[in-house]
Amino acid sequence: MIILSIGICLAGGRAAAQQRSDTLGSLQEVLSLAVKHNPTQAVYLQQIRQARYNYKSTKGAFYPNASAAFSGTDNLHLATTPVPGELVGAPGTTYYAQFGKKYVYNAGVTLTQNIFDWQSVLTTKIAAGNALLTESQQAYYVQSLKEQVARTYFSILIANASLSIIAADQLAGDSLVLLARQRLQEGTTDRLSVNLALINANNVEQNKAQSQQLYDQGLENLKILLGVNPTKELVFSEAIRPDSLAGDGFNQIGADKNLEVYREQVAIADLQRQSQRSVAYPSLSASAYIGVQQFRNDFGLSFDNNAWSGYRYIGLNVNIPLFTGFTNTYKYKSAVTQKEIAQLQYDNAAKQSEINDRLLFKNQADYENMVRASAQNFSLYAANLQLNKQKYGEGVITMDIYQKAFQDYLTAENNYLTTLSQLFSVRATILSRQ
């Protein structure tokens, strides 16, 4: 039983550890998780669902409507109508008669059907356009989400690579401090060399703190984008390589989803213009009533068939707007102006998107050249540092020259990581449009 209990505890501990951590193997895996579990993405999906329900609700205008009603009226004082006395056998006089019953009950079903109502048709089209607009906004958010996730993912990998490089830099910086202090005690160098060694070591520590901060910020931001538990640990199995994103896939870019949002706004504005214009169109509808009535002089209600009288009618309604004080005229002009504004916004966005895409590929080419050059410089400065270390060990150069070589190495390292980060930022934008 003791062995069984230990086995259960170990299995539970492994399961808990798996629940507390996720291993992310590639960018595509991270993007897939973000699209599936991002909290804002879930909100957009609900908004799309709501917009589709709104569209279906507007289609109810094309179906017949039926309603049942029951009413009772107590005529507290019946209307008096003067009639000629001849009707009651009193010629030459006026008789004041009261028609009707004190209590009247009505029960029936009313049916209505729109036959021609262009405004209802356009209202339905506008609702359909709003649903498409919401879908376009969701598609554009997915594009923006992929860009944010890719940039964050690349920044984490670059920071992780930087921490690996800095680990070796710390060993070199600490050895330089020890060597400078040892030579100071021996009297073969001065305090200036020791200070330079300490400065270089502090610069390495500063670079480490900055890289760690970049890693931590990227990690927490990625948790927000992925919608994971804040306490869950994310493990990255992929390592950054300067050539990991090379290929034909980055010579082309997909359509900007933001333009589709502007295009749907133009379509909706045009439908609203048509809808405002249709206010001046005549409308045609039919109605019918099927019911019964009961008249009584005393208070009460009888359900006997003979107590109820039939009451039915059908009607055709034609509504023709004639004059509304120019209100609809100016509303139509306002809708026309709104449509022109939406068209101008779309045209400007299309031009700006085309310019940005052209600049994006130019920046990619420039950053590739910068990364290539900075990577070669970083490699050369690393080689020079080793050569100066050998020369210093042989007594060919002084401690100051050796320290200067280490400073140049750290500067080249920062330049390389900075240009690499800029390149991957551009690549993230291109990836989001694939």
| pLDDT digit string, tens, across residues 115-141 | 989 989 999 999 999 999 999 999 999
DSSP string covering 112-164: EEEEE-HHHHHHHHHHHHHHHHHHHHHHHHHHHHHHHHHHHHHHHHHHHHHHH
- Our count of domains for the chain comes to 2
We report the CATH number of the domain holding residue 346 as 1.20.1600.10
Are both 316 and 350 inside the same structural domain? Answer: no
pLDDT at res. 128? 95
Q: Are 58 and 123 in contact (CB under 8 A)?
A: yes
Are both 341 and 311 inside the same structural domain? Answer: no
pLDDT at res. 9? 45
Of 34-43, 360-369, 394-403, which gets the smallest average pLDDT?
394-403
Q: What is the pLDDT of residues 181-197, one digit of tens each?
A: 988 888 877 888 889 88
Write out the H or E segment, with its range, that includes residue 92.
Answer: none
Structural domain includes residue 125? yes
* Of 196, 260, 226, residue with least CA distance to 403: 196
Mean pLDDT computed over every residue of the chain: 88
Structural domain includes residue 4? no
Predicted confidence (pLDDT) at residue 243 exceeds the cutoff of 70: no
Are both 185 and 217 inside the same structural domain? Answer: yes
pTM comes to 0.82
Domain boundary among 320, 341, 376: 320
Are both 271 and 290 inside the same structural domain? Answer: no
Domain boundary among 296, 320, 344: 320
Give percent of the chain with pLDDT exceeding 90.
64
- The encoded tokens of residue 166 equal 């800095």
Q: Are 317 and 237 in contact (CB under 8 A)?
A: no
Q: How far apart are CA 259 and CA 104, in angstroms?
A: 64
pLDDT at res. 184? 86
Outline where 187-248 has alpha helix (H): 191-226
Are both 407 and 344 inside the same structural domain? Answer: yes
Q: How far apart are CA 411 and CA 414, in angstroms?
A: 5
Q: What is the pLDDT of residues 26-40, one digit of tens each?
A: 889 999 999 999 999
Predicted confidence (pLDDT) at residue 361 exceeds the cutoff of 70: yes
Q: What is the pLDDT of residues 66-108, one digit of tens each?
A: 999 999 999 888 888 898 888 888 888 998 888 888 999 999 9
Structural domain includes residue 198? yes
Mean pLDDT of 356-370: 93
pLDDT at res. 35? 93
Are both 252 and 345 inside the same structural domain? Answer: yes
Predicted confidence (pLDDT) at residue 247 exceeds the cutoff of 50: no
Predicted confidence (pLDDT) at residue 11 exceeds the cutoff of 80: no
Are both 343 and 222 inside the same structural domain? Answer: yes
Q: How far apart are CA 100 and CA 295, in angstroms?
A: 8
Predicted confidence (pLDDT) at residue 240 exceeds the cutoff of 90: no
pLDDT at res. 3? 42
Structural domain includes residue 7? no
Structural domain includes residue 364? yes
pLDDT at res. 429? 93
Q: Are 72 and 103 in contact (CB under 8 A)?
A: yes
Write down the residue that tokens 């120019």 correspond to.
326
pLDDT at res. 412? 94
pLDDT at res. 21? 64
Predicted confidence (pLDDT) at residue 174 exceeds the cutoff of 80: yes
Which residue range(s) make up the domain with 106?
A: 68-115+286-320
Structural domain includes residue 6? no
State the pLDDT confidence band at 242, using cuts at 50, 70 and 90: low
pLDDT at res. 275? 93
Are both 222 and 121 inside the same structural domain? Answer: yes
Residues counted in the chain: 434
Q: What is the pLDDT of residues 257-279, one digit of tens each?
A: 999 999 999 999 999 999 999 98
> What CA dihedral angle connects 56, 60, 63 and 67, to 10 degrees?
140
Are both 106 and 190 inside the same structural domain? Answer: no
State the pLDDT confidence band at 23, using cuts at 50, 70 and 90: confident
Q: What is the pLDDT of residues 152-167, one digit of tens each?
A: 999 999 999 999 999 9
State the pLDDT confidence band at 25, using cuts at 50, 70 and 90: confident
pLDDT at res. 20? 59
Structural domain includes residue 306? yes
Are both 308 and 331 inside the same structural domain? Answer: no
Are both 222 and 163 inside the same structural domain? Answer: yes
Structural domain includes residue 11? no
Domain boundary among 271, 300, 320: 320
- The encoded tokens of residue 38 equal 């991002």
Are both 128 and 177 inside the same structural domain? Answer: yes
Q: How far apart are CA 388 and CA 382, in angstroms?
A: 10
Predicted confidence (pLDDT) at residue 14 exceeds the cutoff of 60: no
